[in-house]
Amino acid sequence: MKFNGLMGVALAALLAGVGSGAGADVVKVGVVASFSGPFAMYGKQFKDAIDAYVAEHGTKAGDHEVQFIFKDDGGPNPDQAKALTQELLVKDKVNYLAGYVFTPNALAVAPLIDQAQVPTVIFNAATSIITTKSPYFIRTSFTTPQVAAPLADWAIAQGIKTVVTSVTDYGPGIDAEKGFAKEFEAKGGKVLDAIRMPIQTTDFGPFMQRIKAAAPNALFTFIPAGPPAFAFVKSYADNGMAAAGIKFLGTGDLDDETTLQTLGDAALGIHTSFPYSAAHDSPMNAKFQADLAKVNPGAVANFASVGAYDGTEALYRMIAAGGTDPDKAMKAVLGASWESPRGPITIDPKTRHVTQNMYIRVVERDASGKLINKEIETIPNVPDLGLAK
Amino acid sequence: MRQILPFAVLAAVAVAAFYIFPYNLAFLTRMTIMMIFVLSLDLVQGVAGIATLGQAAMYGTGAYAAGLFAIHVWPDPLAGLAVGAVAGAAIAFVSGLFLMRAHGLTLLMLTIAVAEVLQEVANKFSDITGGTDGLGGIRMARLLGVWKFDFVGQTGYIYAVCVLFVVMVLLKVVIGSPFGLALRGIQDSQARMRAIGTPVTRRLLASYGLGGAVAGVAGALAAQSTQLVSLGVYSFQLSAEAVIMLILGGTGRLWGALIGAAVFMTVHEVAASVDPFNWLFVIGALVLAVVYAVPQGLMGLPAEVKRWIGRLA
Amino acid sequence: MTTLASILMDGIAYGMILFMISVGLSVTMGLMRVVNLAHGGFAMLGGAFTHWAMTAAGLPFVPAAVLGLLAVMVLSVPMERVLYRPIYRMGELPQVLATIGITFIMIASVNLWLGSSLLSIRLPAAMSGAVDLGFRTLPTHRLYVLGAGVVVIGGLFVLIERTRFGIKLRAAVDHAGTAACLGIDTSRIFALTFALGAGLAALGGILGAELLPIDAYYPLRYMILFLTVVAVGGLGSITGSFVAALALGVLDTAARYLFPDVGTIFFYLAMIVMLGLRPQGLMGRA
């Protein structure tokens, strides 16, 4: 990576100059996310969470007035994400960036933010390597290995000795498969079969039959939320897997709170691992959900909203301490710890990724009959495991 | 004069856009790249009459080829374009060998299948292509060794517009040549052209290959300007949107491709920024309005307006 | 041996769902010669109405499904008159454009009405769960789809080959002008056929929702799948769609059993080979 350093410095100075020269010290934050298309959920969750944070903490961070500008990238579309980010930087002269749902979108803007020296908070994109691409990236979501490996530990502790992994055949799925299998085998477990399922498939009957034939203690899966996860969970129930003694282990993407209710009874009893459950029992989480309901009645809290909420906290901390000075801002947040709706979190100063608790949850019905992810075990302070050799 | 005037107008518009929207160059560059892509489709579909919903196969291959070339071989932009063009033409030629025998729905489905297979192959070989994460780390050397690709995107825009001009002139020449006339003849009636001795399949294959080269150039430009290639370059959505833009503007006349791309992308951009949740209504309405009011595409609008006025009088 | 039996059983069950979802397209596109990319939109609307009737109005599954079906058929009549009639005479490309535009409007409407999340349709107890077949189990739902598929293909055969309506339809399709001269009300025939196609789409959407769950972007997500079945089957042949759906279902399932890693590539290669061997489709008229 070689950039014209002088150009970058000049540009940063220009951006800084505009930021503070505008008189009423306004610090602008550009938020790039999907507000339309099949992934509109993310944009909506981000916006609600930011609104909730602002409603609670006001529009000022320290002495600086904070202003958010939202842009829609429409899905995994790096061309659009990069063009929008460029526009935010040169036209709107934002001092901070945030959002980014998909890995390619985040990777595409890395050269830009590196050159312009703009601190950028990733609210979602979950591939480990992203934060290595620029020292101005921090991330408040999770990485796939961070979620998968603790689940393997827990499975071993439960006496599960054999599994079949069946993941969707694309980047995140393969990350999950490797993350889980490595930990599971290191602890003495055995992976009987590793199935990679085509991304367009929604008929999972054949895979269930194949898993059943292998007769493991459990299956482990990573599958994107929405139609595939829905059909996979249905298929697990319809094929009598639980009765055959095969437990369901998965990452919490597949039963996040925005889709959980649609899964219905088929989801009862499945185990997932994830950093956040809306059913997390803490005053902070209760307050977060109450704030969310105030800005948008009917809003549902999930991993995307809590990623954005903590991301906004990170932004406020950076803005309060650094104003428009990117390096001061970064310094303020690296190593910082605070209580999040998901539990205690720390921004690891080395990886710039969030260190957090992982929770093993089981799907149950609560007193009112709604499905919830009930936390049954906590694995504390898990760092990003994806980059560790 | 009639030939040159539109080019002069295009140049004037491109220059004007540069000065009127100095902060939107990234968007204007994307639009220019899309214009080149829709032009490739116009040659294949509008002139030669090859129905396709899989033009992204060539665009994507050009993008990956240019990206890999820049990373592993030589980061020169023009060399990257040439590589993209060759890759696009090659994939068009290979797939064209069996595609050119099909017609109608069968042809549409086969073109879709080619793009889908390529997308899955790119996903499979993620060690080379980066898979879902995308092929990142593409760095561009200075254009012609002189102009650096700058942060605001001025070089990138001017570069893309120049490529658009070259492609446009090239296609104008091709369409006016005996080869182009033969393609039009084939679109009207394959049987007649065969009867007068035109090697129909060979001509179609040549046009598909040339269209593939142009699509490959568009893909290469996209790879160079985003500095990242994702699996989306092979998406059905991209192929379908290009078809929408082409029909919107008017097929077979090249200028229609430019107008269609410009109108579609501008409407999309404005509608999506005004109401991110409901912009699809606007796009749907635009598309329907064109089909029912000006079936010839926006290029046919002047003639249509004349007809309406004539009817009133 | 067990694997082979499993492949056939799962494959036929999956193929039957493909058939149920695509047969409506075979009617509008095959018989009426409209490139109807909005087919999935009608399937989605059927599912959306059913979902709404079950969640908002609290109806049980069967009445809700009937309501969804009827709603789509009723809606399709004015749509045919206003939106589709003008494009019958146009070329393929304007038809593609028009029906994509219609699809966009449908997606945007459902998105606005019910949001972009999954619209689940909960099956009644009798249809959920699994049946034990001795050597393995099969989801009960698949048996209902199998039954429905057989009823639909039988019904369509009788309707098209054995009734006056069928005779008029075939006449109107072959040559609308001549049919009209013979006193056949072609516009009524077309409206009814279109409503039939839309209704079948809705039925397929509702019954197939277990495998292809309904959401606002359903029509775009599965567009290629529907088109594949009709293209491989051959335009204008409902039997062809039936055979193609089963063949594709079994092939795709076999790939999933035997070499899941290359499943998608295999599906498209199978399609390329089939269309390469029979460009008119399995049962298409040459």
- Coil, helix or strand at residue C226: helix
Closest A-chain CA to B234:
A77
Report the residue count for chain A: 389
Please list the alpha-helical segments (H only) found in chain A. Answer: 5-21, 40-57, 78-90, 103-116, 144-157, 171-186, 205-214, 227-238, 260-263, 283-295, 303-322, 326-333
**Residue A10: is its pLDDT beyond 70?**
no
B24 contact residues in A (CB cutoff 8 A): 87, 91
**Quick one: pLDDT at residue A200?**
82
Whether chain A has a CB inside 8 Å of the CB on B29: the answer is: yes
Q: Would the CB atoms of A104 and B134 count as touching at under 8 Å?
A: yes
Closest C-chain CA to A197:
C260
Give the tens place of pLDDT for each residue, C97-118.
Answer: 899 999 999 999 999 998 888 8
Q: How confident is the model at residue A9 (pLDDT cuts 50, 70, 90)?
A: very low
Bridge partner residues of B73 (DSSP): none
In angstroms, the Cα distances linking B252 to B47, B49, B243, C181 are 5, 9, 12, 37
CATH of region C2-277: 1.10.3470
In angstroms, the Cα distances linking B311 to A142, A287, A298, B117 are 65, 67, 54, 51
Tokens of A296: 């948008």
* Residue C196 parent element (H or E): helix C186-207
In a domain, B93, yes or no: yes
Closest A-chain CA to C254:
A206
Tokens of B99: 């595609």
Give the tens place of pLDDT for each residue, C128-181.
Answer: 878 887 777 788 888 999 999 999 999 998 998 889 988 888 888 777 778 888
Tokens of B235: 């998406």
Share of chain A above pLDDT 90, in %: 71
The answer to whether the beta carbons of residues A46 and A33 sit under 8 Å apart is yes
Which residues are CB-neighbours of A64 under 8 A, at least 6 positions away?
A: A25, A26, A27, A319, A320, A323
How many domains is chain B built from? 1
C35, C269, C279: which is closest to B99 by C-alpha?
C279
Tokens of C255: 């790939």
**Quick one: pLDDT at residue C6?**
84
Tokens of A386: 């994806």
Tokens of A372: 């919830």
Fill in the amino acid letter for C138: L
Cα distance between residue B159 and residue A75, in whole Å = 27
**Residue A133: is its pLDDT beyond 70?**
yes
Cα distance between residue B19 and residue B24, in whole Å = 10
Size of interface A-C (CB pairs under 8 A): 98
Q: Would the CB atoms of C7 and A206 count as touching at under 8 Å?
A: yes
Cα distance between residue B121 and residue B89, in whole Å = 18
Give the tens place of pLDDT for each residue, C37-74.
Answer: 999 999 999 999 999 999 998 999 999 999 999 999 99
* A17-26, A333-342, B271-280, C133-142: least confident range: A17-26
C244, C240, C207: which is closest to C225 by C-alpha?
C244
Average pLDDT over residues C258-265: 83
Report the residue count for chain C: 286
**Quick one: pLDDT at residue C285?**
63
Cα distance between residue A233 and residue A236, in whole Å = 5
Report the residue count for chain B: 313
**Quick one: pLDDT at residue C249?**
92
Whether chain A has a CB inside 8 Å of the CB on B237: the answer is: no
A271, A257, A275: which is closest to A371 by C-alpha?
A257
Tokens of B135: 């092929």
**Quick one: pLDDT at residue B151?**
82
Fill in the amino acid letter for C178: T
**Quick one: pLDDT at residue A388?**
55
Sort B154 into a burial class: Cβ within 10 Å, 0-12 / 13-18 / 19+.
middle
In the block, tokens 């079945």 appear at C229
Which residues are CB-neighbours of C111 under 8 A, at least 6 positions away?
A: A40, B277, B278, B280, C216
CATH of region A5-142+281-352: 3.40.50.2300
Closest A-chain CA to B33:
A79
Give the tens place of pLDDT for each residue, C228-250.
Answer: 998 998 887 888 899 999 999 99
Cα distance between residue C32 and residue C25, in whole Å = 10
Full 3-state SS string of C55-94 = HCCCCCHHHHHHHHHHHHHHHHHHHHHHHHHHHCCCCHHH
Bridge partner residues of A372 (DSSP): A364
**Quick one: pLDDT at residue B1?**
58
CA-CA-CA-CA torsion sign (B263, B269, B272, B273): negative
Looking at every residue in chain C, the average pLDDT score rounds to 88
Which residues are CB-neighbours of C27 under 8 A, at least 6 positions away?
A: C156, C193, C196, C197, C200, C238
Which residues are CB-neighbours of B266 under 8 A, at least 6 positions away?
A: B31
Q: How confident is the model at residue A134 (pLDDT cuts 50, 70, 90)?
A: very high
Closest A-chain CA to B229:
A78
- Residue in C261, C264, C266 to test binding to B, most B beta-carbons within 10 Å: C264
**Chains contacting A (3+ CB pairs below 8 angstroms):** B, C
Q: Would the CB atoms of A203 and C211 count as touching at under 8 Å?
A: yes
In a domain, B95, yes or no: yes
**Residue A22: is its pLDDT beyond 90?**
no
Give the tens place of pLDDT for each residue, A245-271.
Answer: 999 999 998 998 988 988 888 899 999
Give the tens place of pLDDT for each residue, B80-138.
Answer: 999 999 999 999 999 999 898 888 888 999 999 999 999 999 998 989 998 888 998 88
Share of chain C above pLDDT 90, in %: 41
Closest CB from B109, B237, B284 relative to C104: B284
Q: Strand A354-365 relative to strand A271-274: parallel, antiparallel, unpaired?
A: antiparallel
Cα distance between residue A357 and residue A273, in whole Å = 10
Interface residues from chain C to A (CB-CB < 8 Å) = 6-7, 10, 13-14, 17, 111, 116-120, 122, 128-130, 136-137, 139-141, 210-213, 215-217, 221, 252-253, 256-257, 260-261, 263-264, 267
Which residues are CB-neighbours of B45 under 8 A, at least 6 positions away?
A: B51, B52, B243, B246, B251, C93
Q: What's the complex ipTM?
A: 0.89
Rounded to the nearest 10 degrees, what angle do helices C238-258 and C2-25 cross at?
A: 140
Closest CB from C92, C97, C262 relative to B287: C97
The answer to whether the beta carbons of residues A344 and A248 sit under 8 Å apart is no
Sort B197 into a burial class: Cβ within 10 Å, 0-12 / 13-18 / 19+.
exposed
b vs e for B88-111, b when ≥16 Cβ sit within 10 Å of the residue's Cβ? bbbbbbebbeebbebeebbbbbbb
In angstroms, the Cα distances linking A88 to A92, A95, A150 are 5, 9, 38
Whether chain C has a CB inside 8 Å of the CB on B97: the answer is: no
* Residue B14 parent element (H or E): helix B4-20
Tokens of A31: 């938020």
- Coil, helix or strand at residue A70: strand
Per DSSP, A129 falls in state G
A304, A275, A297: which is closest to A375 by C-alpha?
A275
Cα distance between residue C28 and residue C40, in whole Å = 12
CATH 3.40.50.2300 domain position(s) in chain A: 5-142+281-352, 145-274+358-382
Give the tens place of pLDDT for each residue, A90-119.
Answer: 999 999 999 999 999 999 999 999 989 999
B41, B29, B96, B90: which is closest to B65 by C-alpha?
B90
Which residues are CB-neighbours of B154 under 8 A, at least 6 positions away?
A: B18, B25
The ranges assigned to domains in chain C are 2-277
In a domain, B76, yes or no: yes
| Overall fold of domain A145-274+358-382 | Rossmann fold (3.40.50)
**Quick one: pLDDT at residue B238?**
94
The answer to whether the beta carbons of residues A271 and A249 sit under 8 Å apart is yes
B112, A156, B164, A30: which is closest to C232 by C-alpha?
B112
Cα distance between residue A333 and residue C244, in whole Å = 59
Question: What phi and psi, each to the nearest 5 degrees, are found at residue A167?
Answer: -125, 155
Rounded to the nearest 10 degrees, what angle do helices B25-41 and B4-20 cross at?
A: 150
- Coil, helix or strand at residue A186: helix
In a domain, B300, yes or no: no
Task: Write down the pTM of the prediction.
Answer: 0.91
Tell me how crowded residue A342 is: count the other CB atoms within 10 A of its CB: 29
Cα distance between residue A57 and residue A76, in whole Å = 32
Q: What is the domain range of residue B238?
A: 4-245
pLDDT lower than 70: segments of chain B: 1-2, 313
Closest CB from B23, B133, B272 relative to A87: B23
Bridge partner residues of A337 (DSSP): A346
